[in-house]
Amino acid sequence: MNIVMQKKDITIIKIGSNTLIDDRKKIRQSFLDEVLSLVSGRIKQGEKIIIVTSGAVAMGRSVLGDVKKTLAKSIVAGVGQVNLIDSYLESAKKLKLLISDLLLSRHNLVDREQFLKLQETIEGLLENDVIPIVNENDALVSGTQSAFGDNDTLASALAVAFSARRLIILSHVDGLYDSDPTANVNAKLVTQIDDANAAIMKYCSKQISAVGSGGMISKLKAARLCAAIGIETRIINGLKSGALAAALDSKPVGTVFTPRVAGKITNRDRWILSAKSSAGSIMIDDGAVAALCHGKSLLAVGVKKVFGAFDEKEIVELVNSKKEGLAFGIADVGSRELEKVLKIDKTGVQVMHTDNIMIYHGVCQIIKK
């Protein structure tokens, strides 16, 4: 199946643990009421909403208490998920909304048959005005290769898989700052990012969220993938009154990542991109860019530098010397092996096959000029 999916009026809202869980490790029920009330209004206007939620692990630890704090994350998540979805159900009942609880792992996207089934199921829910509440299935895949690792990655994968119009990430901070606001009182909010890949390299620290498993680096990775294929991404402060409503109305709030003008993207492309995207990047020279635009594969001789770590068969972004994104592709070699090749002999080593490279819309027009 190689169908082309048109962009739909679907919004993915991702709610982070620090936004959903308060300092006492309790669900902010009034916050959930407000979110679902806004979602209800958008559904009545014909919009389709998918919610990706964090919080199962935090809730599990709260329920189990300090006595059980050494339990594995998988066990804690299983306990917490029940309480998490119960809170969503409580808010949904007040608003007479229908919700569905879906626990996903990367395998549900990697396996082609399951990917298509997932599309069919969620699209069926949306058509019947049921709100999918999605979380990673930590109880079964935590710490395994089937894990997304964080819900920002899961949210971006779903945005790609369902040809969403936008992804809104609710955090406990106002957006992306030009430096760490906890260490620099003069840090300034960056309201617009035109190249998420450059932002990853420039702004991101390796700090991890105190409650969740993501942090700003995972949010930028999510924005990079979505923006590359024309999906607008915003990072906003979910706890700030009116912020989500403003984002849903496309008003200035938080940090917005400018989407590229997307060309023809088949459902196979969406499957590949959503299934195994890595944080890695490969810098290539102008000759390699020209070769790609003429339908050639990427060879090691055209590679200038490798950023980040990735395995063979993972999705990696290709960038130019200015660190601007050019394309996504499936790597034929992992980052470690490629680093060795670059030091020894680049001749004849294929890094990506032309059939597995998706060049961003407009890149080749610029090259031809």
Mean pLDDT of 317-346: 86
How distant is the alpha carbon of residue 352 from its chain centre?
A: 23
- The DSSP call for residue 276 is S
Q: Which residue has better confidence, 177 or 205?
A: 177
Identify the pLDDT of residue 207: 38
Residue 95 has pLDDT above 80, yes or no: yes
Distance from C-alpha of 273 to C-alpha of 168, rounded to nearest angstrom: 19
How distant is the alpha carbon of residue 96 from its chain centre?
A: 30
Cβ contacts of 109-116, under 8 Å, gap ≥ 24:
109/157, 109/161, 109/271, 109/274, 109/275, 110/275, 110/276, 112/271, 115/161, 115/271, 115/274, 115/275, 116/1
Residue 289 has pLDDT above 80, yes or no: yes
Residue 204 has pLDDT above 60, yes or no: no
Report residue 126: phi and psi, to 5°: -65, -40
pTM for the whole structure = 0.82
pLDDT digits (tens, 9 = 90+) for 116-142: 999 999 999 999 999 999 999 988 988
Identify the pLDDT of residue 322: 80
Q: Highest-confidence range of 69-73, 166-170, 336-340, 354-358, by mean pLDDT?
A: 166-170
Residue 69 has pLDDT above 70, yes or no: no
Report residue 356: phi and psi, to 5°: -110, 25
Residue 15 has pLDDT above 80, yes or no: yes
How distant is the alpha carbon of residue 351 from its chain centre?
A: 25
Strand 232-237 and strand 255-257: the pairing is antiparallel
Domains of the chain: 10-257 (3.40.1160.10), 277-368 (2.30.130.10)
**Dihedral through CA 76, CA 79, CA 83, CA 88, nearest 10?**
80
Is 361 within 8 Å of 261 (Cβ atoms)? yes
